Amino acid sequence: MSVAKYKHIFGPVASRRLGRSLGIDLIPFKTCTLDCVYCECGRTTNLTKERRDFFDPKEVLAELKDWKEKGNEADIVTLAGSGEPLLALSLEEIIRGIKEITGLPCCLITNATLFSDQAARKAALLADVVMPSLDAADEATFKKINRPVAGLSFAEYLEGLQLFCEEYRGKGRVDLEIFLVPGINDNEDQIQALSLLSRSLHVNAVQLNTAVRPPADKDVRPIPREEMEKWARYFIPKAEVIASYHSAPLKEAKAVSEEEILETLSHRTMSLEDLVEAKGYKLEDTEAILKRLLEKGLIYSRTQDGKDFFYV
């Protein structure tokens, strides 16, 4: 059975950080507490901080059960996708269900803005790996880079993240992701402040990212690798620059359908190389399908730094 049958499950994709990561999307496109200038999913169309169930959690878990029963495999299940997963009210039930059904560890990729909510923190405590974001060390930069929903202050966000890290200590791994945007937070004062904050949070690792994929705001450019390495040395221990894939094909190259590529691209903008490496599809098939989908007007492409990225 094709994974394209599923509404909430995507992948597994070869994640640069997690191995074969099966994604679960709990949030409709594009619902988030933030509207980050660098977001690779595009602009946030539903900017909200109200936690609620956008989908029935039973529907999500039923898909996962079906996926498991078909003998599919992955290394980890990751909650991510078209928006902020902490917005899903039944997150705790879903994480418990993921572990029960798959027996796999669970990773939560979050912008951390809802950790001020006690129930959201309680749910996140069940994850084995948490990857929160922190791109700013002050209110003005937070507004500039993350463009939060009205009523969400930097102070509230930081306090929630601090509380979560405190409560989570000894329970799992926290990899803090910092996204660097030229002209906003790529200067010595900002980096020093972010380094200090990361140390006070006692996270396991700091990972630096930059816009290597087409961002929401097309004027946002990636920071060159050498510069990223320079900023990485401001962190103790040194941060890891994760702004590129180090993935390997999952299996021998296999055939792929238009439907599968459309489904994958509906969750994430990807290049031809991303699709081939992440899914293990035959290069020639993928190339031909992308061409057909472009001709039919079902997908679009954007070029960044000489590389074509495709999106629905």
Give the integer Cα–Cα distance in Å for 216 and 34. Answer: 12
Cβ proximity of 22 and 77 under 8 Å: yes
**Minimal distance, residue 40 CB to ligand SF4, in Å:** 7
Decide whether 84 or 263 has the Cβ nearer to ligand SF4.
84
**Minimal distance, residue 228 CB to ligand SF4, in Å:** 18
Kindly write down the DSSP assignment for every residue of 67-133, as one continuous string.
HHHTT---SEEEE-SSB-GGGBTTHHHHHHHHHHHH---EEEEE--TTTTSHHHHHHHTT-SEEEEB
Decide whether 3 or 39 has the Cβ nearer to ligand SF4.
39
**Minimal distance, residue 1 CB to ligand SF4, in Å:** 29
Decide whether 142 or 231 has the Cβ nearer to ligand SF4.
142
**Minimal distance, residue 134 CB to ligand SF4, in Å:** 11
Binding site for ligand SF4 (CB under 6 A): 32, 34-36, 39, 41, 44, 83-84, 111
Strand partners, 175: 205
Give the integer Cα–Cα distance in Å for 176 and 196. Answer: 13
**Minimal distance, residue 109 CB to ligand SF4, in Å:** 8
Output 137-143 pairs: Cβ under 8 A, ≥24 positions apart.
137/190, 137/193, 137/194, 137/196, 137/197, 138/193, 141/184, 141/185, 141/190
Decide whether 135 or 277 has the Cβ nearer to ligand SF4.
135
Decide whether 32 or 194 has the Cβ nearer to ligand SF4.
32
